[in-house]
Amino acid sequence: MNGHLPRIALAICLLAAAPSWAQPVSQDDINLERGLIGTGNAALALPALQGLVTSNAGNPELWFLLGMAQRATGDEAAAATSFTRVSELAPDQPRALLELGTSLAALNRFDDAYDTFNRALILADDRIVRRNIRRALAALDRKRVLSISLSTSAQPDTNANSASGSKVVTIGGIPFVLSKPATSNRSLGLGVDAAARYAPYLTTTLRLVSDANFTGVNFFHTCCSDDTATLASGPGWFDGAYHVVTQAYLRRRYFDGLPYSEERGGRVEAGWENSDLSLSAATEAGSIKLLGPHVPGSVARGQLGGQVAVSSGLTVGAILRVERDDYPIPSQSFTAGSGEVRLMFTGPFELPMQVWGVALERQFQGATLTSPGPRLDHLWGGGWMVDLDFLNVWGMSPQIGVTYISQASNDTLGRFHRVTGIVGLSKGL
């Protein structure tokens, strides 16, 4: 024991002689700097925090506060370095990764930000943090050079419909389309939605935007599949909150695995958005062909949409659409208009929920074989969806919901009611 006394005495002398900034940091010091940042005085906290991290380089809390102070004073690059240090010292802290991803996005390092947010999403055990991360991921999707998303859902369906039996018959020199009636058998469907976008930057605001999308549902045992595949590419202009994208597109639709129609044309999309409001408009037009009967035609569509955050817990969105399909077949040419209203809010148990309603009127140019005059369809429906965000499976939370659709028509084959359940997962890559 006596042999250790000189070493202990030397250590005490060294501590006493050490400069004040080299002393271990106290919780009062940390609380003081945090209070300065929280009250908008980050510039006052910055020099003290820089000194404290020099003598306490292994303290992740100090590095985190330094990053917040650097961001508040406009030095996002330095903030990214500080948050990176936090993630190295405390790799299991999702909040540090959330702030690091925010800094990387502000520095236009969108792919690095996306990877960082996804790491945070896997680690996050707080529902509010996960919601904030998912919002950040959604905002990044449009900015990344390469983005891929995949979602799948089980869909119990009370009335799976099939148009795969479509064929053309000619009566009195006039062609008519004859389709199978809607089935009444219950079925279980598997829905899949996949999307990929490659949009390299040609300049700081000009990009070449290429999209590939597939959406479909396959019903087991009873009837049918309904799939749509789209390829589109063209220049896009992105400047702050504004964007305009023009693309040429090719779209194919399949029923029961067989090609039903093919469409080629051009589309233009324009939009503006900030944190509380987004507005968009899109139009597309082209030539279309029914592949079974080899009947050519033309198609034109237009869409207006908007979404506004009414409060922190309620967002309201609306979409108006119009479509004109023109064929030399009276029973196939139609004009349709529709409207949709969607509410997104925080519901019971603080769960994110969506409720929507839709109405459509489709007026055909002529009669069908099973309608007394020109066919007229009235469709309405709605749905409800809840995100079970208290569950976290590799960054994914299941969604469950239900939809109802009713179509009244003067064509006896076009009348149906349909209830669909949805249990799904989605993931961005």
- The residue segments making up the domain with residue 37 are 19-141
Tell me how far apart the alpha carbons of residues 304 and 33 are, in angstroms, rounded to a whole number.
48
What average pLDDT score do residues 30-52 get?
A: 79
Do residues 306 and 265 both lie within one domain? yes
> Taking 90 as the threshold, does the pLDDT of residue 416 lie above it?
no
Each residue's pLDDT tens digit, 215-246:
998 887 766 788 999 999 999 999 888 999 99
Question: Which tokens sit at 368?
Answer: 């069908």
Q: Is 331 helix (H, G, I), strand (E, B) or coil?
A: coil
What average pLDDT score do residues 175-191 get?
A: 67
Domain end, chosen from 141, 174, 189, is at 141
103-115 burial by CB neighbour count: b if 16+ within 10 A, else e? bbbeeeebebbbe
Report yes or no on 325 lying in a domain: yes
Do residues 235 and 275 both lie within one domain? yes
Predicted confidence band at 162 (pLDDT cuts at 50, 70, 90)? very low
Do residues 354 and 259 both lie within one domain? yes
Do residues 77 and 159 both lie within one domain? no
Each residue's pLDDT tens digit, 4-28:
433 333 333 333 333 333 346 667 6
> Taking 70 as the threshold, does the pLDDT of residue 169 lie above it?
no
Do residues 158 and 224 both lie within one domain? yes
Each residue's pLDDT tens digit, 279-289:
999 999 999 99
Q: How much is the pLDDT for 167?
A: 57
> Taking 60 as the threshold, does the pLDDT of residue 93 lie above it?
yes
Residue among 323, 266, 259 nearest 290 (CA): 259
Report yes or no on 5 lying in a domain: no
Predicted confidence band at 171 (pLDDT cuts at 50, 70, 90)? low
Question: Which tokens sit at 229?
Answer: 């595949």
pTM of the model: 0.77
Q: Is 169 helix (H, G, I), strand (E, B) or coil?
A: strand
Report yes or no on 3 lying in a domain: no
Q: What percent of the chain has pLDDT over 70?
A: 86
Q: CB under 8 Å to 366, separation ≥6 — which residues?
A: 174, 329, 330, 331, 333, 374, 375
pLDDT top residue among 310 and 136: 310
Q: How much is the pLDDT for 222?
A: 65
Q: CB under 8 Å to 57, separation ≥6 — which residues?
A: none
User: What's the number of domains the chain is made of?
Assistant: 2
Report yes or no on 11 lying in a domain: no
